[in-house]
Amino acid sequence: MKEEDIRPQAIFDEYLQLAKEDAITYFATAERESSNCPACGALGEFSFDKNGFTYEVCNNCLTLYVNPRPAVSAFLKYYTESPSSKFWATTFYKETAEARRDRLWKPKASAIHEIVLRYFKDSEIPTIVDIGGGYGIFAEEMRKLIPVSPVVIEPGPSLAEICRQKGLPVIEKFLEELAKSDLPQGAKVFSSFELFEHLHDPERFLRCLNGLMSGGDVFVFTTLSGMGIDIQVLWENSKSVMPPHHLNFFNPESIKVLLSRTGFDVLEIETPGKLDLDILLNSRLSIKDRFWRNFLETASDAERANWQQFISSSGRSSHMRVVCQKPLN
């Protein structure tokens, strides 16, 4: 898989340009609040400013995060009415939907299916609850694999409607507004993909989720690792470091700290990413490090593929997948 397949460069750059303008329009005058590291609570240190947002790195666990953080009301306004949000939901999505289904959602669905087989008995088929289900493509793929219909939690009215048209049960709320009685009974696997890096308050999100889960339920999520190789090398020039969208970059160690503080047992943390070196290759003109520039100029496709394999298997990709569980008691 190549970055171009799921994020065609021209259209992605247009989106980033809109997001950059929106970061000023919606946040320049927003009230901001300071806090410590969202993973471990230690103090952070200034790293860089980007599009009017300040990023800090935790001295203790190396989490990269926006601090101070604009008020949540500014984000709600931004996500409901900004030009870049609209561009993402319409133009960007339309152009890439089928490529993303095949290259992202089908593999994600089969990975979740394997996780279900690992942690649940045959007699106990869990309901998949997809938080921030968007267009419902993951849920559609999931229902081909598991005989219990997935449930989508999607607060956006137009996205929720698209899911309903696909015959998916939808709860049109933010996770933080949900009650346990909104959800089907029985064992559950909650999932969220590429959501965690956007969360205004990850600790609150996890505590709310924990309150909705029963002992033995599983939560699987993917997010960006700030210790991932493309982010480490490109740093403030990384297109993944994109305010106002991406506020939290945990890493395989720091996410454990946050999960154990919020009542979860960690079952698996992996970085199954495939794109780090392709992203670096596409952004090589903004790489300062001589080794990486020369490596990318000279490595063959096969050599890059070998390195990518090693980066993923050693936990150094920026695409991180976490499987955790609410303990039985």
What is the binding site for Zn ion (CB under 5 A)? 37, 39-40, 42, 58, 60-61, 63
Cβ neighbours, 10 Å, residue 191: 25
**Residue 39 or 151 having the CB closest to Zn ion:** 39
Query: Could you report how far apart the first and last alpha carbons of the chain are, in Å?
Result: 42
Helix, strand, or coil here: 208?
Answer: helix
In the complex, the smallest distance separating the C-beta of residue 174 from Zn ion, rounded to whole angstroms, is 26
Nearer to Zn ion, 37 or 128 (CB): 37
Q: How far apart are CA 226 and CA 64, in angstroms?
A: 6
Least CB distance from residue 260 to Zn ion, whole Å?
A: 13
Q: Residue 198 corresponds to which amino acid?
A: H
Between 17 and 59, CB nearer to Zn ion: 59
Rounded to a whole number of angstroms, the minimum distance from the CB of residue 50 to Zn ion is 20
> Which residues face 323 on adjacent strands?
220, 268
Q: Minimal distance in Å, beta carbon 68 to Zn ion?
A: 16
CB 202, min distance to Zn ion, A = 12
CA distance 199 to 206: 10
Q: Which residue's CB is nearer to Zn ion, number 84 or number 251? A: 251
Q: How far is the CB of 243 from Zn ion (least distance, A)?
A: 19
DSSP assignment of 276-329 equals HHHHHHHTGGG---HHHHHHHHH--HHHHHHHHHHHHHTT-SSEEEEEEE----
Q: Cβ 253 to Zn ion, closest distance in Å? A: 9
Question: Between 63 and 223, whose beta carbon lies closer to Zn ion?
Answer: 63
Q: Which region holds residue 167: left if phi is over 0, alpha if psi is between -120 and 50, else beta? A: left
Question: Which CB sits closer to Zn ion, 63 or 271?
Answer: 63
Can you read off the two tokens belonging to residue 37?
Answer: 């590291």
Q: Is the Cβ of residue 54 or residue 127 nearer to Zn ion in the bound state?
A: 54
Angle in degrees, CA 43, 320, 215, rounded to 5: 85
281 CB-side CA count, 13 A: 20
Half-sphere exposure of 69 (CA within 13 A, CB side): 20
